[in-house]
Chain A
């Protein structure tokens, strides 16, 4: 009995030593590299070409040349962006104007420092033989959406003088199955994911962008805390510079961005045709006359004012203080 305890202890000590040796390994690695500052950029969802510009920036070494060693941490259904950014674990996060405004109302010291998606990606997806082309077409239809998104539909209806009571809301989760199986006539979803999935599966569908009917909410916005803005400004500027270069490359060749995404994340289960379609659909949301003139990520007092108005319809009270363009100005200059 005694002996067996002894051997166990020895085995334990051995494995503990082995463990600590493994733990020490990463510390040895960067000794030969130039000392770059390590920062985390918190993405808002699972890896996909949605963040193609960031992958290009990393792959082509744009950040490395600017003195940053950037880790792109992916999001997920149980990985909200705000906690790691608030706690400083991520220097910057990718959020949206409505999420950021809500977080600020709950006490998070966030600023929106750049806007990747000029147009909000929310869309009404329907089957082509029973299409929703304008908000007026919604009357008498069954729409599948998360109950939590009811304010979004309400805002769209108010903006376009449609009576929301004429629309039947069927609570569904974020899943194209109810539309395909005929449980609903249309779905509230992003134009870049569920409709793309349906197209790839051979289901003919039509999408109507909410942004084309007055729904102005900045999406895929870059957020950082006021503390970071004050104390780690250089890093933020460098980070945004890399993003801008990456996304400009993306615009030049969305196909290459899709290809890079699939190659960079072999374990994510991505397929190239889907990523290519998503990449081209996303392009029209991110690049506009405004970005053509001033550069990627741009926003103006007017677009901010439109956002404040739409957010008001969503029941979110917010002031123009939420937006801060100073870092972007520096990065683009």
Chain B
């Protein structure tokens, strides 16, 4: 009842604001948006169905590939590092580079939209799943070993059930991402969908339509989020248990072995890059091979342009990344202390993430200017949501027995949070910190491309008019290296911390 009043209050305030600013063609109120939705109901329904259809297939394929990859990583722990790095690289691939290639491969139709939605989904789900598959008590593993069962049984009987809560969190994070992926996929020349309409509404200065589409996309994402949450609550009978894992001998990997691993990985990536392009017969005009990029990179002019743009992009990515991470983890902690707030905060948080960046980016830039503030805000918003969800789930993973002990000693909520809940949250937090690396880069480059016209995102977008695909693929290579480096840095910090707090996660 109270929340309904709140919603009503906000709507009345918004409408009043719209009446005051009635002269402005750039602002609109709820009544005008409702009128637009009412009079274009059939158009919006058809577009919504098209986008949902593509997002759903993308969600399906993305989740399937995440589950397969995570299972392989568990069964063959030796190749886990390589597998994780490769999926990171695929996830990092900028849409400006992958879009035209997918369109040439698939031709007219839904292929690119579904593929881009699947790519937006699979990586985050994969990472969440990996954490979950490892969150098992040592004793259970030992028991299975005593019975002479191998890794396969371990995966099926112990790891899989233990990973369910993490899988559902991954799926909840993925739901809005799938919608966004499908909408951006429509930019590659799709005939119908919410993304196509959004594009036209923004160009046509049709503010009612822009807001209506943003609200529609957000509602769809919210529903998907809610349904997954509901299924999770219905199906999960798994309560968190104390994961007592003895500390491992902490010998760091030898330097030469690390370097060897890196070299092998680089070679592997270059080989896949070259061979996959050759195998599909992609024309060298737009699908540049490693040699082309290397040759282009050796030109001082090109290098200077590239690095200047890269620094500009980095100067907005890093603050936005840190702000989003702190905000997400901080809010999760606050919600643990004051659970009553979560009824109000959670819908807003989900809605913020669900409103697709392609419609919010121009609005945020309009409000905060074309400087750094707008871009940093967008990055923070994109990262804050997955971090919040993952951290909340991590905090809830605190074993009941430990909470009971704290309660029977009359310890306060603050004490419980600091000494029991936050340490249980750490694996989930670091997983989301790693997930956020490519998400931050994607958010920045997309904003630069669609709204601010700066940095490396702009440099890549220029390709459309200059056909300078050497520059585009050099940008792709540089972004990939940066993402892998940032990822490795965070993974290093994570290992140091989790060695103390969650040994089962450390390999």
Which residues of A line the B interface, CB within 8 A?
A: 40, 46-47, 71, 73-80, 82-84, 86-87, 89, 98-99, 102-103, 105-108, 146-148, 171-177, 180-181, 193-194, 197-198, 200-203, 265-270, 274
Whether A80 and B199, one on each chain, are in contact in the complex, defined by CB atoms closer than 8 angstroms, is no
Whether B285 and A203, one on each chain, are in contact in the complex, defined by CB atoms closer than 8 angstroms, is no
8 CB-based A-B contacts, threshold 8 Å: A76-B187, A78-B99, A80-B467, A82-B286, A105-B467, A106-B469, A171-B453, A266-B46
Q: Decide: A79 near B103, CB < 8 A? Known: A171-B454, A173-B362, A267-B43.
A: yes
> 6 more A-B contacts (CB under 8 A) besides A47-B191, A83-B285?
A71-B108, A80-B286, A80-B463, A175-B362, A268-B192, A268-B196
Q: CA separation between A148 and B156, bound complex, in Å?
A: 55
Minimal Cβ-Cβ distance residue in B for A96: B465
Q: Decide: A79 near B205, CB < 8 A? Known: A46-B196, A147-B453, A171-B370.
A: no
Whether B200 and A46, one on each chain, are in contact in the complex, defined by CB atoms closer than 8 angstroms, is yes
Interface residues of chain B: helix, strand, loop or mixed (majority): helix
**Chain B stretch 414-464: residues in CB contact (< 8 A) with chain A:** 450-454, 458, 461-464
Q: CA separation between A194 and B99, bound complex, in Å?
A: 26
Chain A residues contacting B104 (CB-CB under 8 Å) are 83-84, 87, 89
**A177 in complex: contacting residue of B26, B286, B462, CB < 8 Å:** B26
Chain A residues contacting B492 (CB-CB under 8 Å) are none
Q: Decide: A80 near B285, CB < 8 A? Known: A197-B204, A201-B205.
A: no
Whether A177 and B187, one on each chain, are in contact in the complex, defined by CB atoms closer than 8 angstroms, is no
**B201 at interface (Cβ–Cβ under 8 A)?**
yes
Chain B residues contacting A47 (CB-CB under 8 Å) are 191
Minimal Cβ-Cβ distance residue in B for A176: B205
Interface magnitude class on chain B: 35 or more
Q: Decide: A77 near B199, CB < 8 A? Known: A82-B467, A89-B107.
A: yes
**B467 in complex: contacting residue of A103, A148, A174, A175, CB < 8 Å:** A103
Q: CA separation between A87 and B107, bound complex, in Å?
A: 11
Which residues of B line the A interface, CB within 8 A?
A: 24-26, 40, 43, 46-47, 50, 95-96, 99-101, 103-104, 107-108, 184, 186-192, 196-197, 199-206, 209, 282-286, 362, 366, 370, 450-454, 458, 461-470
**Min CB gap B21→A, angstroms:** 11
**Min CB gap A45→B, angstroms:** 9
Chain A residues contacting B199 (CB-CB under 8 Å) are 46, 76-77
Chain A residues contacting B184 (CB-CB under 8 Å) are 78
Whether B191 and A267, one on each chain, are in contact in the complex, defined by CB atoms closer than 8 angstroms, is yes
Chain A residues contacting B282 (CB-CB under 8 Å) are 87
Q: Decide: A78 near B25, CB < 8 A? Known: A73-B108, A148-B462, A269-B200.
A: no
Q: CA separation between A266 and B192, bound complex, in Å?
A: 9
Q: CA separation between A102 and B451, bound complex, in Å?
A: 25
Chain B residues contacting A108 (CB-CB under 8 Å) are 285, 467
Q: What are the 3 tightest A-B residue pairs by CB atom distance, in nearest-first order?
A: A79-B189, A267-B192, A78-B99
Whether A175 and B189, one on each chain, are in contact in the complex, defined by CB atoms closer than 8 angstroms, is no
**B203 in complex: contacting residue of A84, A87, A193, CB < 8 Å:** A193
Whether A79 and B187, one on each chain, are in contact in the complex, defined by CB atoms closer than 8 angstroms, is yes
Minimal Cβ-Cβ distance residue in B for A171: B453
Whether A75 and B467, one on each chain, are in contact in the complex, defined by CB atoms closer than 8 angstroms, is no
Q: Decide: A175 near B285, CB < 8 A? Known: A79-B189, A99-B465, A147-B458.
A: no
Chain A residues contacting B284 (CB-CB under 8 Å) are 107
